[in-house]
């Protein structure tokens, strides 16, 4: 076991896979010599050299397209897009190429490609550098989507993504880069498609990811003082989605609250709600509730940014409201 | 750097080029019939008139090289060696098609011949070939990659990103623009402020070569020269093949936007006739032999079509296959 930050877990995961497999290459804007704009990848270039680790021009589409071409011809690329807000710049390559390449060819290719980007609000980066991208990316069969919330999961899921034969987008929440946790560097890679019950409880199920997971846990801690015991689930990957763990939890708690760092309309939580409405309605004693951002945008001003992104207090209130309804 | 075109091929290579071009033309004429008969769905883009481009480039490539191309890609597929059966079955959406019926006319792909895929998003195929070139560079295989695109694609943002990045990384990739003077229904002079796409190469510090795209030997020679350079670690090149499509952009487009006489003018320099004439005058072919060749290929096309017609569609329950590696 080693204590390390979420940021270091990224570096360790990339380094571990590059040591293990010569076909792993890594490129993106300012990731090699500079070590990344969030200093997430220092030392990778020094250890693995300029053939396998490259700085690219500011060319998001070319980065993803080149990574795809490399993936279908025998490399296992890790492509970084810096801020997840830049994903739309490369959207055609992600949606029409990466996601569809295997299918369109009738299975002639696999696409062992990992795309990394850093997402999320709370840092005062303004409207174009603070969004969460996962809900944009769920409507494209062919992609997988991981959203690790802890250093251990970052290490486990990023390695799983690199080893996976499908394209996996790994979104790193930038508010978590300094989060410290224990990481077993010898552990087997994580499993894509497995949620985790991070806090067992009986009174309701709280489903969250990344920054919202930590805020949900904070709310749970405070609620526990009043004898309320939420069960908190970290989804870890959104595609595949571990519906089984959610349904089993709801069966025990009879109530569901979904916490998302995304606007309400079209957020991934709607899919979780639909799943439970579909397959778990008769477990429920209360309507399914969601805590989201309003259908508004993230402002630069801290007064507005702090207000729009759900916090522990809002989650706590929503829990009390939900429990009072039944 | 000047890449000299104009080398002449030996008889055997000329014969290969001739066979490829005739096969492409006959296959595409048949595809048009199949489309009109509703056996080919959606849309289809023919390259009749442009056969020397795909055939000439294919002659200059080696085993292990990779190619990406456009929705106008039946010719590239056949020139690289896709079987007529796989092509025709794919056109009809059959399970035995090149992409098991999942791709169709615009997505011809055959990994076994290095065809990494035809693309239906204008310009999207450029960086995919660069990825294959990156693999060759990282693994030191000596292979190169080629990407075909149209004159219209030279105005896509990804064209700029791709040529720039390929040049900076000295990737062994050839950017081959088939300038057929039109992007869909718009003449190049109305969408592009220059006549020669090759002029843009200078901005990326790579050679830009204008090639007679109707002369299969010129195409082969220019490609071979650029390929040798790329294999030697000297980086990418931009080749502009001046060519013309005899038909419309797609489906039943008759090309009303063309200038009167333009088609006839280009047909005077038909790539198949030009090569055949050269082979006649060099005593490498006579008219009777040529007729026999055409006859045999027509039979082959006919047989492939009849075979494909009788092939089964993919089973409905397989609709979710090949989405993920585990499927
Ligand atoms: C990104 C994108 N924009 C528009 C289209 C529609 N479209 C299909 S082919 C085409 C013309 C492309 O012209 P060119 O690159 O010259 O190729 P050609 O068809 O002449 O071979 C257009 C506009 C598309 N498929 N993709
Ligand atoms: Mg054109």
What is the value of ipTM here, to two decimals? 0.97
Tell me how far apart the alpha carbons of residues A110 and A74 are, in angstroms, rounded to a whole number: 10
Tell me how far apart the alpha carbons of residues B82 and B98 are, in angstroms, rounded to a whole number: 8
The pLDDT-based confidence of B10 (bands split at 50, 70, 90) is very high
Asked if A107 and B321 count as a contact pair (C-beta separation under 8 A), the reply is yes
The answer to whether the peptide bond before residue A240 is cis (omega within 30 degrees of 0) is: yes
B156 to chain A: closest CA residue:
A61
Q: What is the CATH number of domain A196-324?
A: 3.40.50.920
- pLDDT for B2 beyond 90: no
Tell me how far apart the alpha carbons of residues A92 and B121 are, in angstroms, rounded to a whole number: 8
In chain B, what residues touch A98 (CB-CB under 8 Å)? none
B115 to chain A: closest CA residue:
A105
Q: Please work out whether the CB of residue B73 comes within 6 Å of at least one atom of ligand 1.
A: no
Contact A103 B131 (CB under 8 A): no
Claim: this prediction has a pTM higher than 0.90: yes
Instruction: Pick from B42, B179, B184 the residue to mutate for probing ligand 1's pocket: most ligand atoms within 8 Å of its CB.
Output: B184
Distance (angstroms) between ligand 1 centre and the Cα of B182 equals 9
The pLDDT of residue B3 is 42
Q: Please work out whether the CB of residue B70 comes within 6 Å of at least one atom of ligand 1.
A: yes
SS3 content of chain A, % helix, strand, coil (to 5): 40, 20, 35
CA-closest residue to ligand 1 atom 13: B183
CA Rg value for chain A = 20
What is the residue whose two structure tokens read 């999942």?
A: B102
Structure tokens at A64: 């993803």
Tell me how far apart the alpha carbons of residues A186 and A184 are, in angstroms, rounded to a whole number: 5
Q: Where are the domains of chain A?
A: 2-183, 196-324
The pLDDT-based confidence of B6 (bands split at 50, 70, 90) is low
What is the residue whose two structure tokens read 């005058």?
A: B281
Long-range contacts of A304-308 (CB under 8 A, 24+ apart): A305/A121, A305/A122, A305/A124, A305/A130, A306/A122, A308/A121
CB of A57 within 8 Å of a chain B CB? The answer is yes
Quick: pLDDT tens for B66-110: 999 999 999 999 999 999 999 999 999 999 999 999 999 999 999
Contact B322 A66 (CB under 8 A): no
Q: What is the mean pLDDT of residues B169-191?
A: 97
CA distance B116 to chain A (A): 8
Task: Report the percentage of chain A scoring pLDDT > 70.
Answer: 100
Neighbours of B262 (CB within 10 A): 13
- 3-state SS class at B70: strand
**B221 vs A252, B16, B59, CA distance in Å?**
73, 15, 9
For each successive 10 residues of chain A (326 residues), what is the average pLDDT?
Answer: 97 98 98 94 97 98 98 98 98 98 98 98 96 97 98 98 98 98 97 98 98 98 98 98 98 98 96 98 97 95 97 98 89
CA B133, B137, B138, B142 torsion-angle sign: positive
Q: Please work out whether the CB of residue B152 comes within 6 Å of at least one atom of ligand 1.
A: yes
H helix intervals, chain B:
11-36, 51-59, 74-80, 84-91, 125-139, 157-168, 188-191, 216-231, 262-267, 271-281, 287-310
Distance (angstroms) between ligand 1 centre and the Cα of B70 equals 9
Tell me how far apart the alpha carbons of residues A24 and A19 are, in angstroms, rounded to a whole number: 9
What mean pLDDT value characterizes chain A?
97
Tell me how far apart the alpha carbons of residues A146 and A37 are, in angstroms, rounded to a whole number: 21
Q: Please work out whether the CB of residue B117 comes within 6 Å of at least one atom of ligand 1.
A: no
- Which atom number of ligand 1 is nearest to the Cα of residue A92? 1
Neighbours of A185 (CB within 10 A): 12
Neighbours of B321 (CB within 10 A): 15
Q: Where are the domains of chain B?
A: 11-246+256-311
- Mutate which: B94, B103, B136, B138, vs A, most A CBs within 10 A: B138
- Helices B157-168 & B125-139, crossing angle to 10 degrees? 10
The pLDDT of residue B5 is 45
The Cα diameter of chain A in Å comes to: 62
Active-site positions of A?
129
Residue in B98, B145, B165 nearest the CB of A57: B165
* A97: nearest Cα among A62, A132, A145, A136: A62
- Which atom number of ligand 1 is nearest to the Cα of residue B156? 1
Contact B165 A104 (CB under 8 A): no
The pLDDT of residue B12 is 97
CB of A96 within 8 Å of a chain B CB? The answer is yes
Asked if B175 and B239 count as a contact pair (C-beta separation under 8 A), the reply is yes
In chain B, what residues touch A105 (CB-CB under 8 Å)? 99, 102-103, 107, 109, 111, 117, 322
**A40 vs A50, A64, A171, A209, B35, CA distance in Å?**
18, 19, 13, 21, 54
In chain A, what residues touch B322 (CB-CB under 8 Å)? 102-103, 105-107
- A2-183 is classed in which CATH architecture? 3-Layer(aba) Sandwich (3.40)
Which residues make Cβ contacts (< 8 Å) with residue A25, sequence separation at least 6? A51, A52, A53, A54, A70, A75, A76, A77, A78, B134, B138
Asked if A100 and A109 count as a contact pair (C-beta separation under 8 A), the reply is no
CA A50, A56, A60, A63 torsion-angle sign: negative
Ligand nearest to the CA of A96: 1
Q: Please work out whether the CB of residue B72 comes within 6 Å of at least one atom of ligand 1.
A: yes
Quick: pLDDT tens for A116-132: 999 999 999 999 999 99
Distance (angstroms) between ligand 2 centre and the Cα of B176 equals 12
Contact B161 A74 (CB under 8 A): no
* B79: nearest Cα among B5, B24, B147, B144: B24
Q: Which CATH superfamily is domain B11-246+256-311 in?
A: Thiamin diphosphate (ThDP)-binding fold, Pyr/PP domains (3.40.50.970)
Neighbours of A98 (CB within 10 A): 28
CA-closest residue to ligand 1 atom 4: B122
Structure tokens at B138: 């990282």
């Amino acid at each position: 076991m080693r204590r390390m930050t979420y940021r270091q877990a990224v570096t360790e995961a990339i380094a571990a896979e590059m040591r293990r497999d010569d076909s792993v290459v890594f490129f993106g804007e300012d990731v090699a010599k500079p070590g990344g704009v969030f200093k997430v990848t220092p030392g990778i270039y020094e250890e693995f050299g300029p053939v396998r680790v490259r700085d690219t021009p500011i060319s998001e589409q070319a980065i993803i397209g080149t990574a795809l071409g490399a993936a279908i011809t025998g490399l296992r690329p890790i492509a970084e897009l810096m801020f997840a807000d830049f994903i739309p710049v490369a959207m055609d390559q992600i949606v029409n190429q990466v996601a569809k390449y295997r299918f369109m060819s009738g299975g002639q290719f696999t696409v062992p490609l990992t795309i990394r980007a850093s997402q999320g609000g709370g840092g005062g980066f303004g409207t174009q550098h603070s969004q969460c991208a996962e809900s944009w990316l769920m409507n494209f069969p062919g992609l997988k989507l991981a959203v690790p919330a802890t250093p251990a999961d970052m290490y486990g899921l990023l390695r799983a993504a690199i080893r996976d034969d499908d394209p996996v987008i790994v979104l790193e929440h930038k508010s978590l880069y300094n989060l410290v946790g224990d990481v077993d560097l010898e552990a087997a890679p994580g499993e894509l498609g497995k949620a985790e019950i991070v806090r067992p409880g009986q009174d309701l199920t709280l489903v969250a990811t990344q920054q919202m997971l930590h805020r949900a846990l904070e709310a749970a801690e405070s609620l526990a003082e009043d004898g309320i015991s939420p069960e908190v689930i970290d989804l870890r990957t959104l595609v595949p989605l571990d519906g089984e763990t959610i349904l089993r939890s709801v069966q025990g708690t009879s109530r569901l609250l979904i916490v998302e760092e995304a606007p309400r309309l079209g957020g991934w939580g709607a899919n979780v709600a639909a799943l439970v409405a579909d397959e778990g309605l008769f477990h429920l004693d209360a309507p399914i509730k969601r805590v989201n951002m309003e259908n508004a945008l993230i402002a630069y001003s801290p007064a507005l940014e702090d207000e729009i992104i759900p916090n522990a207090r809002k989650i706590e209130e929503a829990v009390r409201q939900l429990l009072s309804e039944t | 750097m000047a890449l000299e075109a104009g080398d002449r091929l030996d008889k055997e290579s000329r014969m290969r080029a001739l066979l490829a071009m005739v096969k492409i033309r006959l296959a595409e004429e048949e595809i048009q019939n199949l489309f009109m008969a509703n056996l080919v769905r959606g849309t289809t883009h023919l390259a009749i008139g442009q056969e020397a481009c795909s055939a000439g480039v294919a002659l200059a490539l080696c085993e292990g090289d990779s190619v990406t191309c456009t929705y106008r890609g039946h010719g590239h597929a056949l020139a690289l060696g896709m079987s007529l059966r796989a092509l025709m079955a794919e056109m009809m959406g059959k399970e035995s098609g090149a992409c098991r019926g999942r791709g169709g006319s615009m997505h011809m792909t055959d990994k076994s011949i290095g065809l990494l895929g035809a693309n239906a998003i204008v310009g999207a195929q450029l960086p995919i070939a660069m990825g294959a070139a990156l693999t060759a560079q990282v693994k030191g295989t000596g292979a190169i990659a080629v990407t075909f695109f149209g004159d219209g694609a030279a105005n896509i943002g990804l064209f700029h990103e791709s040529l720039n990045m390929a040049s900076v990384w000295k990737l062994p990739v050839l950017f081959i623009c088939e300038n057929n003077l039109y992007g869909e229904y718009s003449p190049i002079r109305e969408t592009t402020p220059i006549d020669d796409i090759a002029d843009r190469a200078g901005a990326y510090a790579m050679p830009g070569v204008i090639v007679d795209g109707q002369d299969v030997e010129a195409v082969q020679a220019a490609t071979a020269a650029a390929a040798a350079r790329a294999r030697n670690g000297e980086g990418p090149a931009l080749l502009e093949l001046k060519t013309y499509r005899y038909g419309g952009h797609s489906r039943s487009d008759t090309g009303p936007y063309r200038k009167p006489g333009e088609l006839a003018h280009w047909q005077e320099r038909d790539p198949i006739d030009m090569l055949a004439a050269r082979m006649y005058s060099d005593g490498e072919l006579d008219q009777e032999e040529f007729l026999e060749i055409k006859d045999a290929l027509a039979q082959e096309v006919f047989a492939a079509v009849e075979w494909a017609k009788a092939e089964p569609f993919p089973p409905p329950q397989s609709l979710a296959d090949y989405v993920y590696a585990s499927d």
